[in-house]
Structure 1
Amino acid sequence: MPSSRELVSRALNFQPVERIPKDLGGMRSTSISAFAYPGLVRALGLPPRPPRVEDTWQMLALPDLDVLDALGVDVVSILDGVTNALPPEAQADLWHDYDFGGRLQAQVRHPEAFAALPDGTLVQNGKLRMPPGAFVFDEEHAGQALDLSAELPKLDLKRFRQEVEAGLLRDDEVRAIRALCARVRDATDRAVFFNDASLQAMLGIGAFQGVAIFPMLCLTEPDYVHELHEIVTRRAEVNIARLMPEIAPYIDVAMLAADDWGTQQGLFASPRVFRELFLPYYRRINEAMRRHAPGVKRFLHSCGAIYDLIDLIVEAGFEVLNPVQWTAGGHSFREWKAKTHGRIALWGGGVDAQRTLPLGTVEDVAREVREVAACFARGSGYVFCNIHNILAEIPPEKVLALYRAVDEVTPVMEETTFPDRGEKTWLH
């Protein structure tokens, strides 16, 4: 049998696989709520432990190795210096106890970032808030207050350029990242998913002034957007050139961008905006990755109804697309598969995360997983997980159903022709 690493590699290269590879926690949109995690640990019959909350905004647990083993997960992560590929004691000095106001015995990297208000609300870094009964942190207007009577806010690009240039990777940072990646590669035969802020493109339809403002700036101030994108693209090119030759032998997938272009029904901006203001810069970043790390798969996360952007995303040079939110925008999972097969691998989309998973029965979850995964896995090109993070309200029996049902699906390779593409490929 191939190793998990080999299995993921075959899937992402549209090669035959014996089973569908699985992810949990490879990146910050394929994980599980720290509030749901202890129940999953108990349901798996594993010893209790405080969850390591790697993402304290979304409140996500970093899944432990024994949990990955029990669920048959094929991916480990490196997330800004922490990893679940090593035993917790290997990075114990990075983690500190914190109980989130008595609600959750956990570990975080920076407990000093939190403060409690008299009503039990927790404040993080002076602005993010988690009221009692909430399961994630947020801020007023999500930090995107909009005043249409005022001039649209913009960055001081001269100052921003100086800040970006001052934050380019240093040699000592490259050495530290390389050392961690090498340790991870030696420790596991799972695929290694690399997530690091230094590598990720600071491009996005809401990456700066937010989705309430930035799409309007794309229409009213295109020269400003071009200059901004030139600054962040140059940053990415420099960091890729410095880092990727050092770590490419140790990693398999790299998170290049998180650019949520979709709402529940459509796009935040038109495909024309993507083509004119984003595509040229994404091409440059993907080309830099291809040049310096040709064996590392280039990963894009973009939520929502982005079906109409798929052709442009492929043209930009991305090789893996997540979270495969086929439930948004009126296109079925079968249409998503037909649109992407042989062109870009899909990572996620395993179940309707807004209806079936929270509202359906355990059997409803298993039934939909079997149907969706069988479609996405035909002809390969698929890694399984939920459409997005498993939320706090999801009971452990549904999580178990999610990961056990996909093991019942046997991937099929069949030759067929897409009428709308006029080409043969492997798919039913």
Structure 2
Amino acid sequence: MTPRERVVKALSHQETDKLPLDINPILNTGIHVSTLHKLKVALGLISEKEPVKVVDPYQMLGEIDNELRKALGIDTVPLMPYKNFFGFENTDWKPWTFFDGTPLLVPGKFNTTPDANGNIYQYPLGDTRFPPSAKMPKDGFYHDAIIRQKPFRDEDLKVEDQIEEYTLLTDEELSYYEQESKRLYEETDYAVVFGGVPGTNLGDVAYVPGPALPDPKGIRDVEEWYVSLVIRKDFVREVFARMTEIGLENLRLLYQAVGDRIQVIMISGTDFGSQNGLFISREAYRELFKPFHKKINDWVHQNTSWKTFIHTCGGVYELLPDLREAGFDALNPVQISAAGMDPEKLKKDFGAYFTFWGGSIDTQKTLPFGSPEEVKEEVRQLISIFRPGGGFVCAPVHNIQANVPVENVLAFFEAVNQYR
């Protein structure tokens, strides 16, 4: 069975010769560059002085190359976005040494010049003429969005300001996706996964501050946006309606370019849960999100062979009936440590409806703070729960973070390949 066949069967809730494994930087199953470098050194794939590439500058996730993919037994390959989170291309690579000493290659427009205090700033479109949109504190590991909220009056809010960044895919972008998807599909046997098109990621607060916009307008403060879900419902609903129109047209354009060469597409990365339960009421989800999610998922299922993927952290058990009715195929990250997210209950109640894409190891506690033996035992237990009947793709609960002992990372992959 090829990796692609393995993933397709898992998404169809069929058992496979072995469980598919996904590690990549576009579905929130990536690896922080510092940990990735240590992993590749430990596996003998690079020397300590050789760099790894930063392909997601915001989360500082590293490139999973074919050599590592083969070494770990990964079954997926990402169709990388044409531009990154800050709106510039991952090209013209240049060397940079991370705060912790990790040798890296970063895109040419990635700012590596610190301020007087040693902080690093990133700029929209990689253009330092604009105010910065993100900051990595000295000795930090990730970028934090910079809120550039301007004063506004409710009567002056405009939908077009709120959706400025959600534009139709250009001919240049579509040509790239056509050529790259063809290369990945024809030259590899991996399942091709795609991070999504502009317009479908309704209310994703990672994008609310407008990190790729030189001069963001509208509601760009994260707290104010969450408040808006309660006090500005009509405006939010109109924003989502316009985004959905753009998203559907982009899906149509994308399908014309890539056809059925991708197997999975991420539709939403909006977090609806917190550590202790839902972050939004079921009523608010049904009113503001669900009709548009269903419209998007229905289009995909009626016009393509793709499966749709939702990433939502936290304790979302109570929302799963609605996500099912909205038409999502795969659920990630399956945050088993959050309230209500008991693995056995998830599998029993929703295993026939969702492919659980994640949930193979707790990345908050066990992976960073447990022993290698504890890591292996947790992987064994979770696989034994999620595996029966198919509908499971092995992946950690969210990205593997910085400062995770490399021994534990090795133990995770050893256990996955032992029990899968």
TM over 0.5: yes
Shift of 1:282: 0.5
Give deviations 1:89-119, integer Å, cap 9, x for gaps: xx99543323346833211223453431122
Q: Structure 1 CA distance, aligned partners of 2:160 and 2:90?
A: 40
SS in structure 2 opposite 1:354? coil
1:202-351 map, 5 Å: 202-204=201-203, 206=205, 208=208, 209=220, 211-293=222-304, 295-351=305-361
- Contact 1:26–1:76 under 8 Å retained in 2: no
TM-score by length of 1: 0.85
Q: Which amino acid aligns with 2:250?
A: N
Q: Structure 1 CA distance, aligned partners of 2:57 and 2:43?
A: 24
Residue matched to 1:39: 38
With over 3 angstroms needed to count, the CA separation of the structure-2 counterparts of 1:16 and 1:153, relative to structure 1, is: farther
SS in structure 2 opposite 1:192? strand
Give deviations 1:191-220, integer Å, cap 9, x for gaps: 111124x35613026353465233322222
Match of 1:135 among 122, 141, 150: 141
Shift of 1:42: 1.3
RMSD value, Cα: 2.6
With over 3 angstroms needed to count, the CA separation of the structure-2 counterparts of 1:279 and 1:392, relative to structure 1, is: same
Give deviations 1:256-307, integer Å, cap 9, x for gaps: 11011111102221000000110000011111212331x1111111111111
TM-score by length of 2: 0.87
With over 3 angstroms needed to count, the CA separation of the structure-2 counterparts of 1:28 and 1:60, relative to structure 1, is: farther
With over 3 angstroms needed to count, the CA separation of the structure-2 counterparts of 1:82 and 1:289, relative to structure 1, is: same
Q: Which amino acid aligns with 1:131?
A: P
Gaps of 5+ in 2: 124-131, 209-219
Q: Which amino acid aligns with 1:68?
A: R
Match of 1:105 among 98, 103, 106: 103
Match of 1:392 among 399, 402, 411: 402
Q: Could you tell me the percent identity over the aligned residues?
A: 31
Match of 1:96 among 81, 90, 94: 94
Q: Structure 2 CA distance, aligned partners of 1:151 and 1:268?
A: 26
- Contact 1:205–1:215 under 8 Å retained in 2: no
Gaps of 5+ in 1: 84-90, 411-428
- Contact 1:96–1:111 under 8 Å retained in 2: no
Q: Which amino acid aligns with 1:3?
A: T
Q: Structure 1 CA distance, aligned partners of 2:240 and 2:200?
A: 9
Residue matched to 1:63: 64
Q: Structure 1 CA distance, aligned partners of 2:248 and 2:233?
A: 22
Shift of 1:190: 0.8
Give deviations 1:390-419, integer Å, cap 9, x for gaps: 111112221111111122325xxxxxxxxx
**Equivalent residues, number:** 394
Find out whether 1:179 has 2:190 as its counterpart.
no
With over 3 angstroms needed to count, the CA separation of the structure-2 counterparts of 1:213 and 1:173, relative to structure 1, is: same
